[in-house]
Structure 1
Amino acid sequence: MSYQHFSYSPLTAGKHTVGLAGDFTSWEIIPLDEIGGIYTLSIDLPPGVYQYKFIVDGNWIPDENNPHQVSDNFGGVNSLLIAEEEKEEVTWEDIIAQLPNKAPEKFYQFFRSSVNNYELRFSWYPKLAETINLLTESWNIEFKRIGQNPLYEVFYCLFKQTGIFSFRIKIQYKNKALYLGAEGFSKMEEDISPIKINLKDIPLFAIPDWVSRSIIYQIFPDRFCNGNIDNDPDFNEWYYADCKEPPPDGENLSPEKEYYHLVSDWNDISGLKQSPWQKKGIPDFFSFYGGDIAGVRQKLDYLLDLGINVIYFNPLWQAKSNHKYDSADYHSIDPHFATTEEMMDFVKIAHQKGIRIILDVAFNHTGETFWAFRDCVEKGPQSPYWNWYDWKKWPLPKPLPPDFNPKEYYQCWWGIKDMPDLNYDLALPHPDENAVRDIRKARPNAPLVDYLISTVRWWLIDIGIDGFRLDVPDEVPFWFWELFRKEVKKVKPDAWIVGEIWHEARQWVSPLYFDSVMNYAFFKTPVIEFFVLNIISKEEFCQKIETGLGLYPFHSLKAMMNLLGSHDTPRIFEICRGNVQRLKLAVIFQMCFIGAPHIYYGDEIAMEGGKDPDNRRPFNWNWENNPVACEVRAFYKQIISLRKAHPAFWDGHFAFLPAPENAIAFLREGDSEKILVFLNLGLDTVTISIPDEGEILFGNIDTKKQLQPLSAVILSLLVQPENAVPLQKSEKVKK
């Protein structure tokens, strides 16, 4: 039998029904269990090839974390699962016999991170190499193992060079050697000539250096701090005209009605679990607390003391909702957050204090309050903005009936009437337009595209921010993101572009599109499943982490946004069920791992919160009266300071090391320092193997080198200069 683990993370808030169906269930739906916001199922299957889909709230969808798909014969696709028997390990002799049929160029790949800095990746069969070396006329550089993919282990080396690059690759295994050159593979180096690459032909994929050094702090603006009560929401905007009155006493709101209101008590969070105006089980999605930019400005010293240096804001533009993903105008600051001048001043002050600002932008859809959409509602096909949206029927009924189905009238995100989808391609319907990469194969909606691109200049130049987090970017055409990146990098070359992709994202992380992504698939999900929920094994955890490391170039890995929670997921402390030690172990892995750590506001003071909107509670500014909050914040501050003090954490090599059962060990290696991290996730003491000369940076270990349950130790070893091998530039040596 073959053990298979399925998991699904919902993209929208609220309660969901998630099931799994496939030919291995005779297409009967099996429900998935929800644990910590992740829906999971583990089953044993006989070896074979299977088709399956997830069923989410009645919608049949493929598994986005599985790249293997096949037609479902109904215009869609099924995910394809290959459950294999355990095979006998491939031998060196097997490989030698197969190599004449293998295209050698499929084993290596180049990336260019700056003008003269390159990465060479090499993929090779698992456990069949003791060393792999890059050979040139002057260099002999050993590759480092970085990760794996379904077929191969992945190795890399970094070097600096210009012009024509001539090289061979040597694979050494048990006193046997194999060489890769221009003619393919050979047992003798002299039998093959060097591979020659014109390095100028490799696309430049520049990512801002500052990202890898970042500690990112995400702020949901309405819920962080109310610094100016004079700009609190008063609901006098036109779009609140029919939705700012509560129902009569003792009555509930009808399903189609909304009641927008301000919660007068900042600490009153009861409605975020149960609305007083809705039937049991429905929270209050329409409450505001008055958080604003003035509040963030007042708390900058708090953030600096914590150690953060990047603020990631959820949308700041004017919109009807408290989350602001339903934009009313992309060229505006919501007046209940700040004036334009106040926002510009805030960015300047943040920059003076060493804090960069990135903004969440949603270009897949606008709000129904957006000025162009309102013009369409009023004028129909006579509106100059009519083709900015995918209209199916007009006019809209007035008033909207209780059973109003927006999808009958216009394309909208997940069927939500408040979020009509934008129409990028005049020749293709949504979502078919999203897969088009070559703009020459599209009919671009030029006025719409020009308007959206103009927002880049407004936010980067006029307001002065430092980059964008892109909301649901996989639902926008590739060719648009290529235009977007060109404009962003032209306006501000060191601006960061990070996409919200919940699954494998190689096709987006490239010189054409994004610098990196929010690392849901290869960081958040495996860390939560292993460290907190304990629903996958150590082997599965390491495999998922190494799969992510094997996918993306090294300098992009350093820019991945590594999160434990966000406004879309339950809070990490909620999932931990108050277990402070498990929270600390997950955060230690986060702060010591390769990539930019992300903190969702309030996680550093152990704030709790379930599904949206409960995960968007107002920040607890009484945290100093809570001993657990004080303990957790002091820990965050300590581990952040440790990360920032040691370049190996944000610039060094990563590798898992052997460790006892229920323990994880890994290495971070820089030019002048090696750092060893050991985490004991078990309930028993474990004995670990550490050198005597190391300096303990964090944690404790006794004289018997025993590590206590649910604890960690971080050890530093200085690299001797004569043995140092720089990672960022190659050492020239004679062969």
Structure 2
Amino acid sequence: MNQPFLYHPQTNDGLVREGDWLTIRLFAEQDKFDSIKLRHEPDNEEYLIALSKVGSKGKLDIWQATLPLSIDKDVTYYVFKALTATSQYWLDARGIHSRMPGREYHFKYNRTDQPPSWVAEQVFYQIFPDRFCNGDSSIGVETGEYQYPNRNRQSVKKQWGEPVGNHGNSGAVEFYGGDLAGIESKLDYLQDLGITSLYLNPIFTSYSNHKYDTVDYYSIDPKFGTNQQFAELADNLHQRGMRVVLDAVLNHTSVAHPWFDVLEESNGAYTSPDSPYRDYYFFNGDSKQYVGWKGIDTLPVLNFHNDDVRDHIYRGQDSVIKHWLKPPYNIDGWRFDVIHMLGEGEGAANNAHYVRAFRESMKSVNSDSYMLGEHFFEATQWLQGDQEDGAMNYYGFAHPLRALLARKDIAFDPIDIDCHEFLSWLQEASAKVPWSNQLSQLNQLDSHDTERFVTTLGGNESRLAIALQLLMTYVGTPCLYYGVEVGLEGTHDPDNRRCFPWEQVTTSKWLPYCKQLISLRKASPALQRGSFVPLYVDQSSLVFARQLGQEVVISGFNLGIEALRVSLPVWKLGLENDTFECVLTGRTCQAEEGDLDVTIAAEHSLLLTR
């Protein structure tokens, strides 16, 4: 069905707030509609507001209306109904439809809670500290220095670059010596790459190399450095105009945490049913049977129904969440591990209450701090504004990208989708979330929990290049997992946590390519905040534009085995006879009367700026 074009940018081009009112603009194919109405439900009943034509832009009519924000709820929902003499068309956050869409896909605006504006401007870099760089060999873990609690495994010191073991043997207790001094020694490298923010995997005291089993929330692991060193690192980052986000593991602790005390060295919860910490966890009566995260007995789950736990974690003035947001550390945000699982026992009872409480705790110290949640699957309910600012965007970016380019789902089962389905997946996932939260989603190709994407692709360089371009041009905030920029390989956890191969920095073909893409991203407000407009899609190709004001970036790819020649309807952007330049080659091309003819080579990408 050939539908007339309608588009509502949720940027300043199409939405401006003044007090409790939104000025809404809609761009429609010229002279196609008799009337357009904005539908909203301020008291859960339908109201229709007529839009008026207020101007034109190229081959587009501009329609406008004023929308009052809902008073009884934080999030205002709205959708558009456009009429011709014989038909009606509905526009929601996914696109155009022939009937009224369900409410979950309506446009959304949260009048109370917005993510920090700085997040969308960042290029993040995730560091697994033990494997990034060894800056102080005198503090590294020695073989046999300690034994992992509840396991017959002693620490193992390994040489930089040696193969990683697996979780069945020494995988969690192998140490390569990466530390805070190593991170600090590479800040010039990271800035030269174009990185603006660091996300560090856990750095608090723990007996594992991954440190998702915290022993002390208030001390930097001594094998990484000291609290003072971290304060100096954070200060150095801030002086450089960079930011830092830490990983908070607050759903569970280590069995070696003094509150639990599995070794029965004090009066911890495991030691006695009469321990003052007994109700910090979930025990089966007076027995030593307790609830571990996903049944893992080294990770006892915290009970947030307990007042003292609430005070220690988020409510007290020196609670864990507040402590590191304050001087001398002044971190810029928290990434909360398995945040969807915390609560009052198995089943995550009252989870939303505690996620909101975490947010209130953070914002009470620094209203501009970034609250990032870990979700392997759909996170819509946590991303309406009142809970998380953004999530690790597996569901809305990494999963569909893996399915399209590698034909594998997150469980590594086979999946075969084409570009139509890929685009539909992206639009469906993003449409359920307010625009400002879409911009604050953390997009990654891979992480410490997934196989390295280059490995998943079987080393297919063409597809990795396409993936990196999408990472830097799609809606959301890009994050590189350390080593992506030099093509670091790795299968499943823990092999995806190999040592950074510093000897490859001077020879890697990927480093200059990543620098070029990052440079474009940082210089482009359109890529940071611009609207997303699909221009062309077929089974093996997709081209879209990011637009903000007068700036336009066109990004696309062709997975086909033959070159694709296509005419792009840039008139949908309000453009007619504009000149575009290829970012990668410097060549120019000219639109004529709203159409731009381009050719995309087989297994290649397109990247144009206006």
TM-score (norm 1): 0.65
Q: 1:689 aligns with which of 567, 572, 585?
A: 567
Partner of 1:307: 194
Residue 370 of structure 2, aligned match among 496, 519, 522: 496
How much does 1:129 deviate?
8.3
Distance across 2 between alignment mates of 1:266 and 1:715: 41
Deviation of 1:258 (Å): 1.2
Contact (CA 8 Å) 1:283, 1:613: kept in 2 or not?
Answer: no
Write the deviation string for residues 394-414 of structure 1: whole angstroms up to 9, x where unpaired.
565xxxxxxxxxxxx100011
Residue 262 (1) aligns with residue 157 (2): yes
| Mean CA deviation greater in 133-142 or 510-519 | 133-142
Partner residue of 1:458? 323
Q: Paired residue for 2:277, among 382, 385, 394? A: 385
Look up the SS of the partner of 1:346 in the other structure: helix
Partner of 1:595: 476
Residue aligning to 1:69? none
Q: Deviations over 1:640-671 (max 9, x none)?
A: 10111111111111022224541111111111
The one of 92, 96, 115 equivalent to 1:207 is 115
**Residue of structure 1 in register with 2:493 after alignment:** 612
2:225 maps to 1:333: no
User: How far apart are the structure 2 equivalents of 1:169 and 1:611?
Assistant: 43
Alpha-carbon distance between aligned partners in 2 of 1:664 and 1:257, rounded to the nearest angstrom: 52
Report what 1:416 is aligned to.
296
Q: Describe the superposition over 1:218-254 as per-residue Cα deviations: whole angstroms up to 9, x where unpaired.
A: 00011100101121124787xx2578xxxxxxxxxxx
Residue in structure 1 matched with residue 601 of structure 2 by the alignment: 708
Q: Displacement, 1:512?
A: 2.7
Q: Identify the residue that residue 250 of structure 1 maps to in structure 2.
A: none
Distance apart, 1:179 and its partner CA: 12
Aligned residues of 2:37 and 2:51 also touching (Cα < 8 A): no
Alpha-carbon distance between aligned partners in 1 of 2:422 and 2:474, rounded to the nearest angstrom: 14
Residues 37-186 of structure 1: pairs in structure 2 closer than 5 A: 132=36, 171-175=81-85
Which amino acid in structure 1 is aligned with residue 245 of structure 2? I
> 1:409-452: CA deviations, max 9, x gaps?
10001111110001122xxxxxxxxxxxxxxxxxxx11110000
Q: Check whether the contact 2:420–2:538 (CA below 8 A) recurs between aligned residues.
A: no
Supply the distance in 2 between the matched residues of 1:688 and 1:716 (Cα, whole angstroms): 17
Distance 1:177 1:537, change over 3 A: closer
3-state SS of paired residue (2:171): coil
Q: 1:687 to 1:466 in 2, by over 3 A?
A: same
Decide whether the 8 Å contact of 1:262 with 1:287 is kept in 2: yes
Cα RMSD, aligned residues only: 3.7
In the alignment, which residue of structure 1 is the partner of 2:238? 351
Kept in 1: contact 2:445–2:453 (CA 8 A): yes
Q: Deviations over 1:256-281 (max 9, x none)?
A: 52131111x20212x436x9xx7xxx
1:436 alignment counterpart: none
Write the letter of the residue equivalent to 1:581.
S
CA gap of 1:457–1:575, structure 2 versus 1, over 3 A, is same
How far 1:695 moved relative to its partner?
2.2
Shift of 1:470: 0.8
Which of 447, 465, 483 is the equivalent residue of 1:584? Answer: 465
Give, in whole Å, the separation in 1 of the partners of 2:77 and 2:452: 49
Q: Is 1:631–2:509 an aligned residue pair?
A: yes
CA distance in 2, matches of 1:528, 1:222: 27
Give distance in 2, aligned partners of 1:387 and 1:525: 38
Which ranges in structure 1 are unaligned for 5 or more consecutive residues?
1-88, 93-110, 123-127, 144-155, 181-200, 244-254, 397-408, 426-444, 718-735
Of 111-120 and 604-613, deviating more is 111-120
Distance 1:587 1:131, change over 3 A: farther
Query: Contact 1:170/1:178 (CA < 8 Å) preserved in 2?
Result: no
Output the CA distance in 2 between the equivalents of 1:483 and 1:168: 28
Q: 2:234 aligns to what SS in structure 1?
A: helix
Quick one: percent identity of the two aligned structures?
31
C-alpha separation between the residues in 2 aligned to 1:170 and 1:377?
57
**Equivalent residue letter for 1:525:** H
Q: Structure 1 CA distance, aligned partners of 2:219 and 2:471?
A: 35
Matches within 5 A, 1:154-303: 171-175=81-85, 203-234=111-142, 240-241=146-147, 257-263=152-158, 265-269=159-163, 271-272=164-165, 284-303=171-190
Compared CA separation, residues 522 and 312, structure 1 to 2 (3 A): same
* Conserved 8 A contact 1:136-1:168: no
Map of 1:448 onto structure 2: 309
Quote the offset at 1:342 in angstroms. 0.7
Alpha-carbon separation, structure 1, partners of 2:534 and 2:234: 40
**Counterpart amino acid of residue 680 in structure 1:** N
CA distance in 2, matches of 1:119, 1:496: 28
2: CA distance between counterparts of 1:696 and 1:609? 36
**Partner amino acid, structure 1, of 2:181:** A
Find the structure with the greater CA-based Rg.
1
* Runs of 5+ consecutive residues of structure 2 not aligned to the other structure: 5-14, 27-31, 39-47, 57-62, 91-108, 262-266, 343-350, 408-414, 571-576, 590-596
d(CA) in 1 for partners of 2:402 and 2:65? Answer: 32
- The whole-number CA distance in structure 1 between the counterparts of 2:25 and 2:276 is 50
* CA 523–685 in structure 1, closer or farther in 2 if over 3 Å, else same: same
Residue of structure 2 aligned with 1:527, choices 401, 426, 444: 401
Looking at structure 2, the residues matched to 378 and 680 of structure 1 have their Cα atoms a distance apart, in angstroms, of: 58
For the Cα contact (< 8 Å) 1:594–1:650, is it kept in 2? yes
Q: In the TM superposition, what is the alpha-carbon distance from 1:176 to its structure 2 partner?
A: 5.3
1:115 to partner: Cα distance: 6.4
C-alpha spacing 1:615/1:157, structure 2 compared with 1 (3 Å): farther
Change in 2 beyond 3 A, CA 1:120/1:495? farther
Partners of 1:140 and 1:686 in 2: how far apart? 37
Aligned partner of residue 658 in structure 1, secondary structure = strand
SS of residue in 2 equivalent to 1:381: coil
Confirm or deny: 8 A CA contact 1:562 1:590 kept in the other structure: yes
Matches of 2:313 and 2:362, distance apart in 1: 12
After superposition, the Cα gap between the structure-2 partners of 1:615 and 1:167, relative to the gap in structure 1 and judged at 3 Å, is closer
Q: What does the per-residue CA deviation read over 1:99-122, in whole Å, with 9 as the maximum and x for residues that have no partner?
A: xxxxxxxxxxxx999966859799
Structure 1 letter corresponding to 2:549: D
SS of match in other structure, 2:496: helix
Give, in whole Å, the separation in 1 of the partners of 2:126 and 2:143: 26
Tell me the SS of whatever aligns to 2:478. Answer: strand
How many residue pairs match? The answer is 520
CA contact (8 A) 1:538 1:662 kept: yes
CA distance in 2: counterparts of 1:640 and 1:114, whole angstroms: 34
1:513 and 1:291, CA in 2 relative to 1: closer, same or farther beyond 3 A? same
